[in-house]
Amino acid sequence: MKRINLIYGGMPYSVGGVDLEELVEKIADGITSAEPRWLHVNHGEGSRREALLLLTAGVDIAIIPIPVEE
């Protein structure tokens, strides 16, 4: 997987260097946890700008895998 795009609250973000199943599990754990959990992501195009997304029950998030082109 080259990277994984996320839509969180209607805004685009991405993560790289993580397995799809690992990310799905991390998000699921975050939204079912009694304690607040944060997901480190990249925001924007070009140079990296780190952002933190709060994972909580009812959060609006979509996962969009971007496969490596062969």
**pLDDT the model gives residue 1:** 60
CB neighbours (10 Å) of residue 8? Answer: 19
SS3 19: coil
- Rounded to two decimals, what is the model's pTM? 0.85
SS3 51: strand
Q: Rounded to whole angstroms, what are the CA distances from 37 to 31, 49, 51, 66? A: 8, 19, 13, 24
Tens-digit pLDDT profile for residues 2-51: 789 999 999 999 998 899 999 999 999 999 999 989 999 999 877 778 99
* Domain tally, the chain: 1
Range of the domain at 35: 3-66
How far, in Å, CA of 35 to CA of 7, rounded? 22
